[in-house]
Amino acid sequence: MLKQFFLAACCIPFVCSAKQIAIVIDDIGNHQRDIEILNLPGQITFSILPHTPYSQVFARLATQSNKELLLHVPMQAIDNSKALGPGALTSAMNKEQLQSTLGHALASLPQVKGINNHMGSELTQHTEPMKWTMEVLKKRGLYFLDSRTTNHSQAQHVANLYGVNNISRQVFLDNIVTEQQLSQQIDKLKQKAERYSFAIAIAHPYPETIDFLKRALPELERQGYQLVPLSQLVNRKYIQLAKAENKEFSAR
């Protein structure tokens, strides 16, 4: 029955005055130049890597600027040659190790409203570590954004089982950082927003991406799109779920 409610909600457009877009910029915290990204116009959401040199100062300044923050949790990738960085969650961890590592990272950035996975194409496919992750998020009242680094991710399914609010990325803006590709991906994002009344993108703090967004974000608003914090779309999802549930019971 719960699955039916989620499917029904996905088919109901969000009721809002404008087509809403959330853009999450990942990989924040390693470089001092990341702080300059706070000057981007609009309600960008930022996802901060734990225990990085500029994570604390970025979080403080972002909070002062009323910007929404996520914890960008490193998770094991299929390609084990990729360095995960501090605070990483791996399939070799038991429940206590994983929850302690995640809890320590969250304690270092109490400003965050949720988490998303950094890499994680391996770990998010496994139900057990996702259960342990969602237990932590449920206790702390945090939401989960699935970066969808694999089509086989179990993260949202497990989040639903544990009652953790969740949502997924629809577009990666900058897998290729050329003007042409960035323009194509922003057009794809707009098409999603046109179809569903909302859309969610992930980008990264590449200089090319930031320069592009400085020009593209004001244009989005002129075209009738509303840039919103990610939590606003998460909340709207669950409003629609509640409406779908009420409609289902009323039809009986």
CB atoms within 10 A of CB 58: 26
Q: Write down the pLDDT at residue 106.
A: 98
Nearest-angstrom CA–CA distance, 22 and 35: 20
Q: Which two tokens stand for residue 226?
A: 């509303």
Rounded to 5 degrees, what angle do the CA atoms 118, 54, 103 make?
Answer: 55
Q: Write down the pLDDT at residue 240.
A: 86
Q: Write down the pLDDT at residue 252.
A: 66
Q: Write down the pLDDT at residue 1.
A: 43
Nearest-angstrom CA–CA distance, 19 and 118: 27
Q: Write down the pLDDT at residue 140.
A: 98
Q: Write down the pLDDT at residue 248.
A: 66
CB 124 within 8 A of CB 78: no
Q: Write down the pLDDT at residue 81.
A: 84
Determine the 3-state secondary structure of 143 from DSSP.
Answer: strand
Q: Which among 102, 91, 85 is positioned nearest to 49, based on CA atoms?
A: 85
Q: Write down the pLDDT at residue 17.
A: 53
Cα–Cα distance list, 204 to 29, 44, 153 (Å): 12, 12, 21
pTM over 0.85, yes/no: yes
CA 226, distance to chain mean position in Å, is 17
Element containing residue 30 per DSSP (H, E):
none
Helix 230-250, helix 2-10: angle, nearest 10 = 120
Q: Write down the pLDDT at residue 234.
A: 98
Cα–Cα distance list, 81 to 49, 78, 101, 165 (Å): 19, 9, 21, 32
Q: Write down the pLDDT at residue 15.
A: 45
Q: Write down the pLDDT at residue 249.
A: 62
Q: How far apart are the first and last CA of the chain?
A: 13
Please identify which residue in the block is written with the tokens 């400003």: 111
Nearest-angstrom CA–CA distance, 117 and 144: 9
Q: Which among 178, 227, 170 is positioned nearest to 195, based on CA atoms?
A: 170
Please identify which residue in the block is written with the tokens 């390609």: 79
Q: Walk me through the domains of the chain, giving residue ranges and CATH numbers.
A: 17-245 (3.20.20.370)
Task: Pick out the chain residues at pLDDT < 70.
Answer: 1-17, 248-250, 252
